[in-house]
Amino acid sequence: MAISEQPSKLSLPQTNPGVETVLEYLVIKFPYIEAQVWIQRMLDGKVHLHDGSLVNPQSLFKPQQRIYYYREVENEPVIPFAEEILFQDEHILVAYKPHFLAVTPGGQYINECLQNRLRRGTGIEGLQAMHRLDRVTAGLVLFSVNPATRHLYHELFKTRNIQKTYQAISGSIQNKAITGRTWEVSNRIVTTEQRFRMCITEGEANSHSTIRCVKHSANKALFKLSPITGKTHQLRLHMQSLGWPILNDRYYPELQELSEDDYTKPLQLLAKELRFIDPVTKQERHFVYKGNLEF
């Protein structure tokens, strides 16, 4: 059994969804976790409020109350790839995340995520990721070290004042006259019924990327991708919309059958650069991962 070293937290919604207790809400919020599991966690003292007082199965639902709990999984996989710290000062830390490693706890991953690995390695318990990458995507992630300045870095992403550059490889290239060409892709991305997958639909655009073909060889091509917006799976969908899905993508264009990770076939998508004006120092920051996708 793997148990999170740090608590997860959630705020109860302002509008009561029709429940009397915190337990009832948690069962609705997390449909894949049985009520008995939550009851046992509560009896074991693993669910509490912001002030540390314990939540029990009879605790009443109160709007906007913060609930803290410790995630558990029976068998947590160990990801056999190492992270790398590129930069660290009193305010931020920039790290390289390998393929298959989650940024933060989720699903069957608790301690095997970049945030918790870095917390253990640096001793900074309050280290917090400022943005996300898909678990199957590799690349640079910015972390906040200092809670006092954290809101300033959150604002960078909220106001889109941070430039991110990716590399991607597609294995579906037939037209060889694309090297050096650039495409502006803008469309509307929404959640599908499967929730973990997105799709492009009609309507006002809410996503925008610039995509350029750097070079090609045989039936593969290397692309430079610059997302202007940050919708879930945006780059994967935008590449697919051009007819060049990213190599080894198990979600797009067709959802593959659920299976264990194949570490020999990582998604060929790399978050290679981060560039921004540091809101604390007022200096330009430019971080580049030296590695590249194998082309």
Give the start-end residues of each E strand in the chain.
2-3, 8-11, 47-49, 66-69, 72-73, 84-88, 92-97, 128-129, 138-144, 162-170, 182-191, 198-201, 207-217, 220-227, 269-277, 284-288
Least confident of 169-183, 195-209, 280-294: 169-183
| Residue 4 CB neighbour total at 10 angstroms | 17
Separation CA 207–CA 226 (nearest Å):
12
Calculate ∠ Cα 236-238-240, nearest 5°: 70
pLDDT in tens, 125-143: 999 999 999 999 999 999 9
pLDDT in tens, 158-186: 999 999 999 999 987 776 789 999 999 99
Q: Are 175 and 163 in contact (CB under 8 A)?
A: no
pLDDT band per the 50, 70, 90 thresholds, residue 211:
very high
Q: Is 134 helix (H, G, I), strand (E, B) or coil?
A: coil
Residue 8 has pLDDT above 80, yes or no: yes
Q: ω into residue 253 within 30 of 0, thus cis?
A: yes
DSSP code, position 106: B
Separation CA 163–CA 157 (nearest Å):
9
Check residue 160 and give left, alpha or beta (phi > 0: left; psi -120 to 50: alpha).
left
Kind of pairing between the strands at 138-144 and 269-277: parallel
Give the start-end residues of each E strand in 12-91.
47-49, 66-69, 72-73, 84-88
pLDDT band per the 50, 70, 90 thresholds, residue 110:
confident
CATH 3.10.290.10 occupies which residues in the chain? 2-73
CATH code: domain 165-269 is 3.30.2350.10
CATH 3.30.2350.10 occupies which residues in the chain? 84-160, 165-269
Separation CA 56–CA 215 (nearest Å):
60
The yes or no reply on domain 2-73 and CATH 3.10.290.10 is yes
Please list, in sequence order, all residues whose beta carbon lies within 8 angstroms of the beta carbon of residue 192, skipping any fewer than 6 positions away. Answer: 198, 199
The CATH architecture annotation of domain 84-160 reads 2-Layer Sandwich (3.30)
